[in-house]
């Protein structure tokens, strides 16, 4: 029996597309050889080197086009489901085949050449010590994800001399500048962000694409397979405390510092083992 040909479509944000990569992976892992899949999305950088894609033409009469959604999100307050289950459940229903998540992360692939590249931060600064990515803002249509800039700054200041931070974010969104960081706001393509994440030791962010990218992008050899992500859980919020959504106001700078401290000691030790001349110093 010939495999069914599918072109999967979605026009949403990159974080949504990242979760769709997981559904494509799980479709093929659950039903190997039964489907040929291609995609039409706004962010091809998230699909580069993906082994589950086969170029398909819309002019092929045997190709089925499917617009992908994740209606399961509307039951997320009633059922113990993750964003990861949304597209998988929808594809399972539309295709009439059982699909279950096979990995608790999106599916991003890097080429051998990309992995061998000198990290962008190292090229820009000449400093080869580990870095964390910090996303100190968010989209204007989801202000519930915003945390106070001064609290992000307090976290950065607390680790000055111990950890380096690289600030990322789109300039079209709300991303006030932080001091004492490598400022890459608006300076990286999506693919460059993938490679930036590959070498990152950890991430501090609200609920956003970076949180999912942190899990989806593999770490370099010799480092733990999972990098830590400290995020602030998060539509416009009408329950506010001062300038912040009340749920975000409940998260102090000390809360985030405490979580990062759980991992900071390991990375200082690991970097000294690999690079005795590192600029990192302990307090």
User: What is the residue-wise DSSP string for 106-117?
Assistant: ------HHHHHS
For 121-146, the three-class secondary structure string (H helix, E strand, C coil) is HHHHHCCCCCEEEECCCECCCCHHHC
Residues facing 183 on adjacent strands: 167
* 3-class SS of residue 57: coil
Residues facing 35 on adjacent strands: 4
**pLDDT score of 236 more than 60:** no
> What pLDDT digit, counting tens, does each position of 36-52 carry?
999 999 999 999 999 99
Which pLDDT score is estimated for 125? 93
Which pLDDT score is estimated for 268? 52
> What pLDDT digit, counting tens, does each position of 187-220 carry?
999 999 999 999 999 999 988 899 999 999 999 9
* Least reliable range by pLDDT among 63-67, 172-176, 242-246, 271-275: 271-275
Which pLDDT score is estimated for 279? 45
């Amino acid at each position: 029996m010939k495999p069914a040909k599918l072109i999967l479509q979605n026009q949403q944000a990159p974080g949504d597309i990242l979760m769709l990569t997981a559904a494509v992976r799980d479709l093929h892992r659950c039903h190997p050889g039964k489907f040929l899949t291609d995609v039409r999305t706004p962010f091809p950088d998230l699909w580069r080197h993906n082994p589950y894609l086969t170029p398909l033409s819309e002019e092929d009469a045997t190709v089925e086009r499917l617009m992908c959604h994740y209606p399961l999100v509307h039951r997320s307050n009633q059922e113990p489901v993750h964003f990861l289950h949304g597209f998988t459940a929808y594809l399972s229903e539309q295709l009439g085949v059982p699909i279950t998540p096979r990995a608790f992360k999106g599916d991003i692939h890097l080429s051998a050449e990309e992995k061998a590249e000198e990290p962008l931060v190292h090229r820009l600064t000449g400093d080869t010590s580990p870095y964390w990515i910090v996303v100190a803002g968010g989209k204007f249509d989801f202000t519930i994800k915003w945390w106070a800039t001064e609290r992000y700054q307090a976290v950065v200041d607390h680790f000055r001399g111990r950890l380096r931070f690289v600030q990322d974010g789109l300039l079209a969104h709300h991303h006030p500048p932080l001091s004492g960081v490598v400022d890459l706001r608006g300076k990286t393509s999506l693919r460059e962000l993938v490679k930036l994440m590959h070498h990152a030791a950890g991430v501090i962010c609200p609920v956003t694409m970076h949180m999912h990218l942190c899990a989806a992008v593999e770490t370099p050899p010799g480092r733990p397979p999972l990098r830590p992500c400290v995020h602030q859980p998060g539509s416009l919020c009408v329950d506010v405390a001062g300038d912040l959504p009340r749920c975000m106001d409940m998260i102090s700078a000390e809360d985030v510092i405490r979580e990062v401290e759980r991992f900071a000691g390991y990375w200082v030790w690991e970097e000294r083992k690999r690079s005795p001349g590192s600029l990192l110093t302990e307090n």
